Chains A and B, each alone.
Chain A
Amino acid sequence: MATFESVQPTSHPRRANQLGWLLKIGPVYLTLVMLIFTAAASQPSFLKEQSIRNVLVSSTPLAIAAVGQTLVILTAGIDLSIGPIISLANLTCAVWMKDHPESAVGIALLCALIGLLIGAANGYAVGYRKLNPFILTLGMGTIIRGVTLSIKDAPGGAVTRDFMQISRAVIGPIPAPVLYLLVLYLIGMYMLKKTPYGLSVFAVGGNENSARLSGIRTRRVILSVYAISGLLAACAGIFLAARIGSGDPLVGDAFTLDAVTATVLGGTSLMGGIGGLWGTLAGVLIIGILNTMLNLNNISTFYQWIVKGAILIGSLAFDFWRQRRHT
């Protein structure tokens, strides 16, 4: 039997761990790079500053929402209410702002708060009442959807022109949304990998019982990740309102699935405990570029569906294959 002294991991454990991490997100970034090359090859105008800016700005809402989804999935949960929350925040923001243009900022903050509260409700049910996250967030999402449609069942509302600056502003050559994303992801990554809270999130996803027995307030951690997810979803919806100028009760529909796809593509495991935001970012960009590429090439939206679905399955199958090789 091997003693602890005779263990031979790779010569430098730190390097081994970093290697493991790179191996996880390596493929995503590789795919991303390949995708960029393909896009550039098929459409030279792709690399123009304008189109790069477009891709980044149009990926912003998904990028924002995906942060929350990643946090939730890290705790071995899932949030299916993201899309509906985006729609709710988006619509109410636009509708209320139309009637009260003078309180634009206040309204935006209120919408964000609503998202936070809905998320907290989700988190309470999953963390404290131990309800199944899939069904719970599904039900909650449906309720939110109904609420949104009852406010207005068709696109409408209007945000103030100043408000639209949120998505239009540029600082030098860099669009403001890119900066938002930069800040968000940097803060998020720091929080996840460097703070006790972040470690708790991984611990809860990895082995909730152990985490609890070690004094980590697992129920609170779970509530917090869903609350953050709700908050960020609302922010994504508000951003969309700023970008499009009006509200749409169904705008958020595709986001739930896309957020899950981006997260999973980026190497975060549905079982929890493994993953991170670096990968999610790549996943978001892949989806964004794919959308743009298919649009630029006039490939019908319908094919996009097929491609997206295949990517989703393919990425996980690849993950499994890779794990098999290492065992």
Chain B
Amino acid sequence: MADALLELRNISKSFPGVQALDDVSFSVCPGEVHALLGENGAGKSTLIKIMSGAYPSDKGEIWWKGQRIVYNDPLHALELGIGAIYQEFNLVPQLNVAQNILLGQFPTTRWGSVDNAELHRQASDALKQFDFHLDTRLLVSQLNIAQQQIVEIAKALIRDLRILIMDEPTAALNNVEIAHLFEVIRKLKARGVAIVYISHRLREIFEIADTITVLKDGKLVGTKALSEVTEDSLITMMVGRTLADRYPPKDTVQSEIILKVEHLSLDGALNDVSLQVRKGEILGVAGLEGQGQRDLVRAITGAVRTTSGAITVDGERQAIHSPHDAIRSGIAYIPDDRKNEGLVLMRSVRENIALPSLFARLRSLFMVDEPNEQRFVRQLVDRLGIKASSPMQVTRNLSGGNQQKVVVAKWLGTNPKVMVVAEPTRGIDVGSKSEIHHLMRELARQGVGILMVSSELPEILGMSDRIVVMSRGQIVAEMSGAEATEEAIMSAATRGISSTVSQSVFASASSG
């Protein structure tokens, strides 16, 4: 485009083990809302990090207002007028709202002290401009996530940016807040500010975007104007194949119940939840984000203690007060945050895989049975196709997909009866995704009962033998995998939650 504000030309970037971006070109014009779509691992995050100066690119050029530039760091980009709001907030919890919004630009009085009255006035104005109401004297640590995001947004907006990058901004907002956000975006457009918008909620994209760029596996699939695409054509661009041939066939359910959860309650998060999983069954847990799925998972696997409820594994009642208890009962937990909860990144593949099985299985007297361990690890590595230079390689250096495989391998090694999986394929490249799905089905074939929480509707529909839908800490619907449809799940999930924008709030036929 002749009047492009920012142009990225032929950008390539790789990390150890993965080519994140491969010859991608991208440009933004003033007043344009440019949406960036793609599956997890498609390269969206990397692209915007290069745009905002957080990473340098390996190859390619960046042009700003018609001139070639090179960023040094995010501050440099900020000075040019390019700012980003990420999903992990950049706030100082110990300071208040006003101080955070104006961090680094505090107004001062004649004597050099901070002009508090002016500070709060400017902060309130920034919030009011976009119709947000928040007491600027509150400490950020006192706010909930939605409010923190508002502070984050106000903080970016007050800097008079030319380009604002937003990475999944609506993830934690409700309908009213989303509507407000769109108003904000429209006002910014009117001012000539460009917005780069990452989201996997297609309905939102259709409401707000002018241009859409789709990435897949680090490559550019295409850039189109809104008028040129439909939801289906976008999905095809993102996924490249139809839903049907992605998932393994469902044919493994047995009749015995392997996991029974009765009247599980957790203060403020779970309210009398009961469910059952049979041997060989994959039970999908669906619902809008933050409706208690994470708490359910953590309760069953002992990561948190419940206020009441009973858990029975393979007919035996279990007292599960810690992950240690859960493992002993035969429950394995694959968490969604693999970096922080699933792996000890600085240790080797071998140590990670062996960790939960050390005491029970890989020990002779006081020592680790090394030959046994080596065999154990090698078997699992082969079975899962983990690509690492050797079992001694430090897990930090593996790709996302391989890291997830290490997590899965480690739990497989404990010979679980029940596997609780949260977001099994989040942030994983497409190839590994399919492998993991097939692996899950194979495990089910061997009699393991699987409880799967996923925010990706296609995954729920494609993998589950049965589906339960959670809302506000309770199970509100149950349906068989064969009969379930998008609409049925969606309507159950949004029941009781304001319906106006519910369509766009839930991730529809796109993947996360």
Residues on A lying within 8 angstroms of B by beta carbon are 1-5, 7, 9, 13-14, 16-17, 20, 190, 194-196, 198-200, 202-203, 205-207, 209-216, 273-274
Contact = CB atoms under 8 A, between A and B. Distances in A.
B87 to A, nearest CB: 14
Contacts of A200: 104
Contact of B113 (A194, A209, A212): A194
Contact of A1 (B94, B113, B146): B146
A9 B142 contact: yes
B482 interface: no
Contacts of B137: 13-14, 17
Which of A2, A196, A209 has the largest number of chain B CB atoms within 10 A? Answer: A196
B368 interface: no
Contacts of B108: 195-196
A190 B113 contact: yes
B92 A3 contact: no
Contacts of A194: 113-114
Contact of B103 (A4, A198, A203): A203
B96 interface: yes
Nearest to A190: B113
Interface stretch (B128-136, B254-262, B413-421, B449-457): B128-136
A4 B147 contact: yes
B103 A211 contact: yes
B104 A211 contact: yes
Which of A4, A20, A195, A216 has the largest number of chain B CB atoms within 10 A? Answer: A4
A207 B75 contact: no
B142 A215 contact: no
Contacts of B96: 17
Interface in B97-133: 99, 103-106, 108, 112-114, 132-133
A210 B92 contact: yes
Contacts of B132: 4
A195 B116 CA distance: 10
Contact of B114 (A4, A17, A195, A274): A195
B139 interface: yes
Given A4-B132, A13-B135, A206-B94, 8 more contacts: A1-B174, A3-B146, A3-B176, A9-B135, A195-B112, A196-B114, A203-B103, A273-B93
A274 B114 CA distance: 18
A165 to B, nearest CB: 32
Contact of A214 (B103, B113, B134): B103
Nearest to B290: A1
**Across chains A and B, which 10 residue pairs bring their CB atoms closest together, nearest first?**
A214-B104, A215-B104, A206-B92, A214-B103, A273-B94, A210-B90, A194-B113, A206-B94, A13-B137, A196-B106
A13 B104 CA distance: 23
Nearest to B134: A4
A192 B462 CA distance: 57
B138 A13 contact: yes
Contact of A2 (B90, B103, B142, B146): B146
B75 to A, nearest CB: 6
A207 B146 contact: no
Contacts of A17: 96, 137-139
Which of B132, B137, B144 has the largest number of chain A CB atoms within 10 A? Answer: B137
Nearest to B145: A1
21 contacts: A3-B174, A4-B132, A7-B143, A7-B147, A9-B142, A13-B135, A16-B138, A17-B137, A195-B108, A195-B114, A196-B106, A199-B106, A202-B95, A206-B94, A209-B90, A210-B90, A211-B92, A212-B75, A215-B78, A273-B93, A274-B94
B408 interface: no
A1 B176 CA distance: 11
Interface in B166-187: 174, 176-177
Contacts of A210: 90-92, 103
Nearest to B497: A1
A207 B90 contact: yes
A209 B75 CA distance: 11
B391 interface: no
A202 B108 CA distance: 17
B184 to A, nearest CB: 14
A206 B93 contact: yes
Interface in B71-95: 74-75, 78, 90-95
Contacts of B143: 7
B148 to A, nearest CB: 10
A198 B106 CA distance: 11
B163 interface: no
A13 B143 CA distance: 12
Contact of A202 (B90, B92, B147, B290): B92
B150 interface: yes
Contacts of A2: 144, 146
Contacts of A9: 135, 138, 142
Given A2-B146, A4-B132, A9-B135, A195 B75 contact: no
Nearest to B138: A13
Contact of A215 (B92, B105, B112, B147): B105
A74 to B, nearest CB: 10
A40 to B, nearest CB: 37
Contacts of B290: 1
A207 B177 contact: no
A290 B105 CA distance: 44
A9 B97 CA distance: 14
B266 to A, nearest CB: 15
Interface in B222-263: none
